[in-house]
Amino acid sequence: MPRMSYAKLTESWRALIAAAREHEAVLGDSLEQREALARHLEKMDALKALQISAIATRQQCTQDINQGIEEGQILAISLRGAAVSKLGPRSELLGQFGKAPLRKRGRRSRPPADPANPADIAAAAEPG
C-alpha cells in the first residue's frame, strides 16, 4: 500500500464508512467491520489531537527552559559578584566560583636576540 498523509488516510476511511452506511442493505452483515473502523478512526483522531497538544506543550516547555536559563545566568552572575565582593578580587577562592582572581602582573622581559641577525647583535653591544 502506498504511503499516504494522515489527512488523506483518515479522509479515505471516513468516505469508506459513509459508503458502507449508504449501502448497508447491499453489504449485509458488514456492520461489525464498519463499526470497528469507525471506533478505530475515533481513536486515531484522539491520538492525533494528543500529538498536536504534545507539540504545543513541548514548545511551551522549551520556551520556559530558555527563560529559566536566562534567569539562572543572571542569578549566577549576581552570586559571582557577591563572592568577589565578600572574598575580595585577589582571593584564590574565586576559582571555585568560576571567576579568575586578580593577580600581579609578571615582569616583562625582552625577547632574546636572534643570533642569526647581525643587527640585533650590534644593537645589543652598543652601550646606552
Is 16 in contact with 37 (CB distance < 8 Å)?
A: yes
Domain count, the chain: 1
CB 41 within 8 A of CB 14: yes
In a domain, 117, yes or no: no
User: Rounded mean pLDDT of 38-43?
Assistant: 93
How many angstroms separate the Cα of 11 from the Cα of each of 17, 20, 101? 10, 14, 68
pLDDT in tens, 7-17: 898 999 999 99
Residue 38 lies in a domain: yes
Is the pTM higher than 0.85?
A: no
Say if 101 falls within a structural domain. Answer: no
Full residue range of the structural domain in which residue 48 is found? 1-85
Chain centroid to Cα 114, Å, comes to: 53
81 lies in some domain: yes
pLDDT at 115 over 80: no
Dihedral over alpha carbons 76, 78, 83, 84 (to 10 degrees): 120
* pLDDT > 90? residue 32: no
Checking if the pLDDT of 119 tops 70, the result is: no
In a domain, 74, yes or no: yes
Cell numbers representing residue 24 in the block: 448497508
pLDDT at 128 over 60: no
* Residue 42: per-residue pLDDT: 93
For the stretch 49-100, pLDDT in tens is: 999 999 989 999 999 999 998 999 899 888 888 888 888 888 888 888 888 8
